[in-house]
Amino acid sequence: MDAFRRANVGRVKNEQVWAAIDVDDDRWDEALEDLRKDLDDTEARFASVFLIDDFVASGLTLLRRKDTDWKGKLPGSGEK
- Asked if the structure places residue 18 within a domain, the reply is yes
Beta carbons of 53 and 21 less than 8 angstroms apart: yes
Q: What is the pTM of this model?
A: 0.52
Amino acid at site 36: R
Q: Does any domain span residue 50?
A: yes
Give me the domain span that covers residue 9: 2-56
Confirm whether 51 is domain-assigned: yes
Number of domains in the chain: 1
Distance, CA of 61 to CA of 45 (rounded, Å) = 30
Residue 63 lies in a domain: no
Task: With respect to residue 67, please indicate whether it lies within any of the assigned structural domains.
Answer: no
- Is residue 72 in a domain? no
Please provide residue 70's backbone torsions phi and psi, each rounded to the nearest 5 degrees.
-90, 135
Torsional sign, CA 23, 76, 56, 53: negative
Q: What is the DSSP letter of 69?
A: E
- The 10s digit of each residue's pLDDT in 45-76 is 988 877 776 655 555 556 677 788 877 766 54
